[in-house]
Amino acid sequence: MTRQRTRRLLEYLFTVWIIVTLNFALPRVMPGDPFLYLSTDQGQEIARFSEAQQDYYRRQYGLDRPLAQQYAAYLAALAAGDLGYSIYYNQGVTAILLQRLPWTLLLVTAAVALSALAGCLLGSMSAAFRGRALDRWLYPAMIAVSEIPAFLLGLLLLFTLAAGWQLFPLSGAMTHFAVYASLWDRLADIARHAALPVLTLAIVRTGGIYLLARSSMAAVLARDYLRTARAKGLHPLHILVRHTLRNAMLPIVTRIFLSLGGLVGGAILVENVFAYPGLGRLMREAVLVHDYPMIQGIFLLVTLTVLTANYLADRIYGRLDPRIRENAAEAR
């Protein structure tokens, strides 16, 4: 393993340690007590625990021990792959996350694909016609779109397309108690329920990718080697694919992978708007009932998602830009 890779690995491990430590501390500084009263996922109190019950549950979850001992036990459990046992759901945190994670991944991956495609296409068109009517219309429109909060756009789409025009379901990920004639009917139902959350996340992210693609494409189009390629009589499609897009995509690819973490965070609000059963809605429920193990498990999963996206961005960036591979080879 090269020195550069070893250094990057140590940086990732140090970052994970910092995040794990914050993940342990943040739920414990939240106001409230998970064993003071029994609540619903809406935060409504339905019963209070007696002092004997509170002492029992604190001993059961190890919350009666000093923080240093709790922290050591938490690290040991993580090293063994144990995320703990949910206080509210009475189930292992890992099992619950595995049930909810696919729904969030569906929203995030679909939104990333749509926003990347739309942003790159519109940004390329705007750069090619820079200063013309198309660019003068697209540029302010994309800036305005990028500033709209995800939850506000979600509410707007929910009221118009779902409640008003009844084109999409109001909530959920699937139709309850539905009997499907085939697998395609099941997938179609899932797609209809996911359409508005995906559209919300995609629209919010398209503006940022558009601006980056427009700037990157405009810079590449002004390079001397493109004039040389045109002078050689190369086909415009060959110039676009081999010379323009390859060089313009470097910052765009990085932005796309880095946006994965932001989309997971944005999905928290969007999933609550559409009552979608992903990690976002699960986090809201866990915070309302002060479910420490569940909150820690979700935060840790989101952190690992962001770090994985950063790692993939570094790897793909090196594949697209040979200069990075050359610098890495010289550092060995």
- How would you class 232 by CB atoms within 10 Å of its CB: exposed for 0-12, middle for 13-18, buried for 19 or more? exposed
What pLDDT score was predicted for residue 53? Answer: 77
- Beta carbons of 298 and 100 less than 8 angstroms apart: no
Domains and CATH numbers, the chain: 33-82 (no CATH), 101-330 (1.10.3720.10)
- Beta carbons of 297 and 84 less than 8 angstroms apart: yes
Residue 70, CA distances (Å) to 61, 178, 293 in order: 9, 45, 12
What pLDDT score was predicted for residue 276? Answer: 92
Residue 238, CA distances (Å) to 123, 128, 171, 245 in order: 19, 16, 46, 10
DSSP labels, 295-308: HHHHHHHHHHHHHH
pLDDT (tens digit, 9 = 90+) per residue, 185-199?
999 999 999 999 999
Distance CA 321, CA 332 (A): 18
What pLDDT score was predicted for residue 145? Answer: 85
What is the phi-psi region of residue 90: left when phi exceeds 0, alpha when psi lies from -120 to 50, beta otherwise?
left
What pLDDT score was predicted for residue 187? Answer: 93
- Stretches where the chain sits below pLDDT 70 are 1-2, 32-33, 37-48, 236-243, 246, 261-262, 265, 317-332
Distance CA 209, CA 232 (A): 32
- How would you class 147 by CB atoms within 10 Å of its CB: exposed for 0-12, middle for 13-18, buried for 19 or more? exposed
Residue owning tokens 């390329």: 124
Question: Would you tell me the crossing angle of helices 279-288 and 292-320 to the nearest 10 degrees?
Answer: 150
What is the torsion angle, in degrees rounded to the nearest 10, for the CA atoms of residue 312, residue 318, residue 324 and residue 326? Answer: 130
Residue 249 tokens, joined? 């995509």
